[in-house]
Structure 1
Amino acid sequence: MRVSICGLLLCLPLCAALGDIGANEMTKSHPFTVNASVVKGCVLGSGASDTDTFGNLNFGQISSLGSDIHIVSRIGACSVQLRCNPELNVILALSIGNHVTGSITAGRKLQNATSGETLLYQLYQDSNYSILWGDGSNGGMVRTITATGNTQEINVYARLFSSSILPTSGIYSDTVLLTIIY
């Protein structure tokens, strides 16, 4: 009998532990949500932050303009580099420059700062030099691309028009503003 009482005494604390309903638990668990909201955006250039410049588009040194001169931008020389959210429609618009008013259909102008003389040039979207690149209201069309999420290079095609008049020596320049809308 003694053995059976001892067996009952050892069993009682164990049975009470198995019947616990959690009122005295020392840990609790509860899930929470982690999220991020990605807004549409673009980075100009190929780095982690926006670039200050795309460089210059340069027709080079010329002594006469007996025929048109065609050039294509490249990285560091006016090619537009950008990285935008994938599948984002991005509009690229070019201003008329500093020396034209109204429409660019007759050409943009490079101006000699000393003499005030101008040379006609134009910027295009395509290698056929047929689609004027503007802002949609200045005689040229905007360019729309679909972003891939990777850095994309967009070339600028430029033509310096021939002239029967020999230009005065000096540096001829213009500044065109690129606007990116997304």
Structure 2
Amino acid sequence: MTRKFLMILAFCAVMAPVGSARALCVLCSCSASTPGLAFGPYDPTSNSPRDSNATVSINCTGVAALLGTIDIALSPGGSNSIPNRRLIQGADRLTYNIYSDSNYTTLWGDGSGGTTGVSLPFNGLLTYAATVTAYGRIPAHQYVRAGAYTDTVTITVTY
């Protein structure tokens, strides 16, 4: 079963199935939540990228018949391209991305365009809770107007 959760990420924003077996779950319900990525003020003259992270919480209830995985995918957001995610303010665009690792090397997406998802082991219990960290980065030296930039990314939980 696949459930989608819409997230509106405030100012500089905020997971694709991986190859293991999905959990077979009877009468399950899962939800995802996050406060979103908030980068704070961006300085285009800085030589360093602007980084932020957010915790994504997954909560499921139900009866598991088989152990397996819960897979978490992220949509491309408004840019329609995960490798080219953009935060938007009117006509202005600010490039950013979301990674599943603290080294900012693995793009967190839906499995397309060289991206990967996050896969969590399902414990087979009546309740399941897990958290995973999303790492966001805005590259340095993007000269844009001041203001609040946003993007909307959808989290898809597959089990």
Higher strand share: 2
Q: Which amino acid aligns with 1:174?
A: D
Q: Which amino acid aligns with 1:97?
A: G
Cα distance, 1:164–1:39 mapped onto 2, change above 3 Å? closer
Shift of 1:170: 1.3
Counterpart pick for 1:44 among 16, 31, 42: 31
Q: Which has the higher contact order (CA 8 A, sep 6+)?
A: 2
Shift of 1:109: 0.3
Greater Cα radius of gyration, structure 1 or 2 = 1
Cα distance, 1:175–1:42 mapped onto 2, change above 3 Å? same
Secondary structure of the residue that 2:82 maps to in structure 1? coil
Structure 2 residues not aligned, in runs of 5+: 1-24
**2:92 is the counterpart of 1:112:** no
Give CA deviations for 1:25-76 in whole Å, capped at 9, x if unaligned: xxxxxxxxxxxxx71634225xxxxxxx5222110123435220111213xx
Tell me the residue number matched to 1:89. Answer: 69
Secondary structure of the residue that 1:70 maps to in structure 2? strand
Cα distance, 1:65–1:93 mapped onto 2, change above 3 Å? farther
Contact 1:133 1:142 in 2 (8 A): yes
Give percent identity, aligned residues only.
Answer: 28
Counterpart pick for 1:127 among 102, 106, 122: 102
What TM-score, normalized to structure 1? 0.62
Hey, what's the Cα distance between the residues in 1 that align with 2:77 and 2:112?
14
Counterpart pick for 2:40 among 60, 69, 77: 60
Tell me the residue number matched to 1:177. Answer: 154
Q: Which amino acid aligns with 1:64?
A: P
Structure 1 residues not aligned, in runs of 5+: 1-37, 46-52
Higher helix share: 1
Q: Which amino acid aligns with 2:130?
A: Q
Considering only aligned residues, what root-mean-square deviation do their CA atoms show, in Å?
2.2
Runs of 4+ in structure 1 over 6 Å off:
none
Hey, what's the Cα distance between the residues in 2 that align with 1:80 and 1:138?
25
Contact 1:65 1:161 in 2 (8 A): no
